[in-house]
Amino acid sequence: MLIQQTLTKLHSLKLSGMAQGFEEQLSNAAAHSLAFEDRFAMLVDHEATHRENQRLRRLLKTAKLKVAACVEDIDYRHNRGLDKSMMASLLTCQWIERGLNMILTGPTGCGKTWLACAFGNQACRIGKTVLFHRLPLLLEDLQIGHADGSFHRRLALLAKADLLVLDDFGLAALNAQGRTDLLEVVDARSGGRSTIITSQLPVDKWHDYLGSANPTVADAILDRLTSGAVRLPMRGESMRKVRARETGTA
């Protein structure tokens, strides 16, 4: 009876990890021979691990990454322009701590979105808040925000995330409102928050994409996105075709 009361109190105190560890100790005969201090330390470790896992699940759920990618699965076998030593440095996420942006460019299928999601996953692991958006859909949502009065709330959420992933930059044509909204987003994040941009367009084509109607806005967007940014120009054939050949489904 006392054991059940203890478990109930642990759950009521939101110490679910410790409660689970206590139940495991009760069913493990080997644990009974350990000193009290050792068993208690194990319970504390169990609770800490449980909370860390819960936090990671919450961060990943909020991030809504397009694919479940992780850095351990980065494929270096194919020549995509990924330097292992540079990648090892980037995977520490110090560039996020410094508020730098990352630009991933390359042909369709080369793995830009996958790699962006892997960096997003890594950022979540170290406790950073992450948001993933396809840029064309995000700009549509912001357009709706102007109509229903939620624009500033949406902008504040985008500005607050430690890492924002903007996928498919340059894929859809921009109207005047879209350019202005994109400037608002990148301006709200400049100087402290990191953004990953994926694009099939090389960076030297971005001004043409942004600036046909308003070169001043284009200059402002480019300055905020590219200044000091980490650039990863990727190359190679579609990884979907490569995977299909490797699995014999091509």
Domain of residue 167, CATH code: 3.40.50.300
128 and 56 within one domain: no
134 and 216 within one domain: yes
The pLDDT of residue 250: 47
Question: Is residue 247 over pLDDT 70?
Answer: no
Q: Among 14, 32, 62, where does a domain finish? A: 62
Question: Is residue 64 over pLDDT 80?
Answer: yes
72 and 47 within one domain: no
Distances 184 to 102, 155, 196 between C-alpha atoms, Å:
18, 8, 16
Short-list 44, 48, 37, 1, CA closest to 22: 44
The pLDDT of residue 27: 82
| Mean pLDDT value across residues 52-62 | 91
| Mean pLDDT value across residues 60-66 | 97
227 and 179 within one domain: yes
Percentage of the chain beyond pLDDT 90 is 62
pLDDT category of residue 77 using cuts at 50, 70 and 90: confident
Q: How many CA atoms lie within 13 A of 11 on its CB side?
A: 7
Question: Is residue 99 over pLDDT 80?
Answer: yes
Short-list 109, 106, 78, 100, CA closest to 224: 100
pLDDT category of residue 160 using cuts at 50, 70 and 90: very high
Helix, strand counts (H, E) of the chain? 12, 5
Pairing of strands 194-199, 102-105: parallel
pLDDT category of residue 92 using cuts at 50, 70 and 90: very high
**171 class by beta-carbon count within 10 Å (0-12 exposed, 13-18 middle, 19+ buried):** middle
71 and 35 within one domain: no
| pTM as predicted | 0.82
pLDDT tens digit string along 121-149? 999 999 999 999 999 999 999 999 999 99
Residue 144 makes CB contacts below 8 A (sequence gap 6+) with 150
C-alpha 228/C-alpha 244 separation (Å) is 37
Please count the structural domains in the chain: 2
**Residue 235: CB atoms within 10 Å:** 13
| Residue-range definition of the domain harbouring residue 174 | 64-247
Bridge partner list, 181 = none
C-alpha 12/C-alpha 15 separation (Å) is 7
Better pLDDT: 120 or 235: 120
| Mean pLDDT value across residues 10-34 | 78
The pLDDT of residue 31: 76
